[in-house]
Amino acid sequence: MNSRTYDAIVLGAGPAGEVVAGRLAEGGWKVAIVEKDLVGGECSYYSCMPSKALLRPADVLGEAQRIPGVPVGDDAALDPAAVLARRDQVIHHADDSGQLPWLEEHGIDLYRGAGRFVGEGRVEVGDATLVASRAVIIATGSGAAMPPIDGLDSVRTWNNRDATTAKKVPASMVVLGGGPVGSELSQAWASLGTKVTLVDAGEHLLGRDEPYAGEEVAAALRGRFGIDVRLGTEVESVRAGGAGVIVDLKGGGAAEGEELLVAVGRKPHTEDIGLEAIGVEPDDGGFLEVDDRMRVGGRDGLFAIGDVNGRALFTHNGKYQAWIVAENLLGRGVSAIAEGFGSPRVTFTDPQVAAVGKTLAKAEEAGIDARVVEVPTDGSPGASFQGKGTGGKSRLIVDRQTDTIVGANFTGFETADFLQAATLAIVAEVPLARLRHAIAPYPTRSEVWLKLLEKWEAGED
């Protein structure tokens, strides 16, 4: 067997794995990266990028229809073939060859195949055994979780991979799960003509965010996109029939679709990576618990970053954690301070939901003396030109004791870019009296910040 020694082995070439490999290579380390599918990971080909490519056309169409003088009628519809072709371009037709020069330039050796531990610091891939003299970083990501629903394994289902790469628009679809993935993909396919039924057991969509955010998204999905959103609805069982699949609901009734998209959570890729060979056991959900330096079980040479550690399942978190690991390995000690529930999170529906830090409920749970400061998202002069009349609410959660922001939630047309200012204010713990001096350019929608700060300054209602 072919054995090669590296300073570090990275298992998985998604965004987290690529970033840590690149940073270590830039620091002079000899690095091997192991990938069983496509370099770029789930994000580039099967999740973030294709889903955003599918969602964006409806945003643009909606905006064009709101602006007098743009020759787009109320009955204009998207061209599904063109949208899918553009999506294919965005994901480079599931071809990762464009990523390879970057690895080569960094002197990173790519091993294609499924890697698994065969001992401490030893990873087997194909007929090669890779030996890490300093560190192994597990960045194997996650796949769609399948819930234990009666009959689910007897019908054809879609996961995020199917739903982001499908070549034709289904006539109808049932979506299980109203989190960010279920909500986004429901909207994307409905905008292309699919008749969607979205089923969620919770009282609101986007259960982790402020309840008003889920309510606004549900109203838009029902209204503009014609989606049948069924909340507080649990699935009894699933069977083949009708247009393809019939979902029987608890308490009676059924939903039917040509396709059934299951979007009820994620399952980390920890099952087949040989963890038993290094004496590591994942938690009950299969995730690898890490400390604030991303070390597994406090071991100095073993790290887990990205979705696989379950801290916050976003690409930006994986990249942040990759930076933390590389900094530590390169001798510049740094620990995560901006992680977990409070991480920035955006649901790219129309309206978008952009949030960071604590919701009101989480702030109160944490014993914070919380004040809510709220303004309409479309109330600034800039919103006369962009997102006119689209409503939405911008909310800051302020700690009354310190007069700093501990949470922010923006709903409305394209609010994602409002978020970074809130993230900076939270991470830097900027007092609002100081933030009041951050001038927002006129007439931009960033003046939502001016409106929020004026509201805060005016005192409690």
Ligand X SMILES: Cc1cc2nc3c(=O)[nH]c(=O)nc-3n(C[C@H](O)[C@H](O)[C@H](O)COP(=O)(O)OP(=O)(O)OC[C@H]3O[C@@H](n4cnc5c(N)ncnc54)[C@H](O)[C@@H]3O)c2cc1C
Cα→Cα distances 347→159, 359, 395, Å: 18, 15, 16
Measured in whole angstroms, the distance separating CA 459 from the mean position of its chain's CA atoms is 35
CB of 156 to ligand X, least distance (A): 19
CB of 116 to ligand X, least distance (A): 6
| 31's tokens | 């690095």
CB of 364 to ligand X, least distance (A): 27
Helix (H/G/I), strand (E/B), else coil: 414: coil
Answer for which of 121, 306, 310, 357 binds ligand X (CB under 6 A) is 306
Residue 356 sits in the site that holds ligand X (CB under 6 A): no
C-beta closer to ligand X: residue 121 or 382: 121
Q: Are 54 and 164 in contact, with CB atoms under 8 Å apart?
A: yes
Place of tokens 């009041």: 436
* Nearby residues of 195 by Cβ (< 8 Å), 6 or more positions away: 171, 172, 173, 226, 228, 257
CB of 37 to ligand X, least distance (A): 4
Residue 235, strand partner residues: 249
Please choose, out of 42-50, 101-109, 200-208, 225-233, the segment that lies near ligand X by the rule CB under 6 A: 42-50
Answer for which of 6, 8, 9, 14 binds ligand X (CB under 6 A) is 14
The 181-220 site mask, x for binding ligand X (CB under 6 A), equals x---------------------------------------
Q: How far apart are CA 413 and CA 382, in angstroms?
A: 12
CB of 217 to ligand X, least distance (A): 15
Q: How far apart are CA 216 and CA 220, in angstroms?
A: 6
**H helix count then E strand count, the chain:** 13, 21
Residue 359 sits in the site that holds ligand X (CB under 6 A): no
Helix (H/G/I), strand (E/B), else coil: 447: helix
Classify residue 92 by its DSSP letter: G
CB of 316 to ligand X, least distance (A): 5
Answer for which of 22, 318, 342, 351 binds ligand X (CB under 6 A) is 318
Residue 455 sits in the site that holds ligand X (CB under 6 A): no
Answer for which of 6, 10, 32, 41 binds ligand X (CB under 6 A) is 41
C-beta closer to ligand X: residue 357 or 382: 357
Q: How far apart are CA 332 and CA 233, in angstroms?
A: 50
CB of 260 to ligand X, least distance (A): 16
Closest CA to 60 of 386, 460, 323: 386
Cα→Cα distances 111→98, 143, 304, 343, 415, Å: 16, 21, 19, 32, 40
CB of 190 to ligand X, least distance (A): 15
Amino acid code (one letter) for 212: Y
CB of 159 to ligand X, least distance (A): 8
Q: How far apart are CA 21 and CA 10, in angstroms?
A: 7
Answer for which of 13, 25, 83, 453 binds ligand X (CB under 6 A) is 13
Q: How far apart are CA 292 and CA 294, in angstroms?
A: 5
Q: 66: part of which helix (H) or strand (E)?
A: helix 48-66
- Residues 148-177 contacting ligand X, CB under 6 A: 160, 164
CB of 381 to ligand X, least distance (A): 30
The 115-154 site mask, x for binding ligand X (CB under 6 A), equals x-----------------------xxxx------------
Answer for which of 11, 304, 325, 360 binds ligand X (CB under 6 A) is 11
CB of 136 to ligand X, least distance (A): 12
Q: How far apart are CA 114 and CA 378, in angstroms?
A: 49
C-beta closer to ligand X: residue 91 or 432: 91
- Residues 383-402 contacting ligand X, CB under 6 A: none
CB of 236 to ligand X, least distance (A): 26
Please choose, out of 11-19, 55-63, 126-134, 452-460, the segment that lies near ligand X by the rule CB under 6 A: 11-19
* Nearby residues of 273 by Cβ (< 8 Å), 6 or more positions away: 11, 115, 116, 117, 138, 140
Residue 112, strand partner residues: 35
C-beta closer to ligand X: residue 287 or 456: 287
The two beta strands, 128-138 and 142-144, are: unpaired
Q: Pseudo-torsion of CA 38, 346, 181, 37, nearest 10°?
A: 10
Please choose, out of 197-205, 278-286, 314-322, 433-441, the segment that lies near ligand X by the rule CB under 6 A: 314-322
C-beta closer to ligand X: residue 11 or 262: 11
- Residues 254-283 contacting ligand X, CB under 6 A: 269, 273
Which residues of the shown chain bind ligand X in the complex (CB under 6 A)?
A: 11-17, 34-38, 41-43, 47-48, 51-52, 114-115, 139-142, 160, 164, 181, 269, 273, 306-308, 313-316, 318
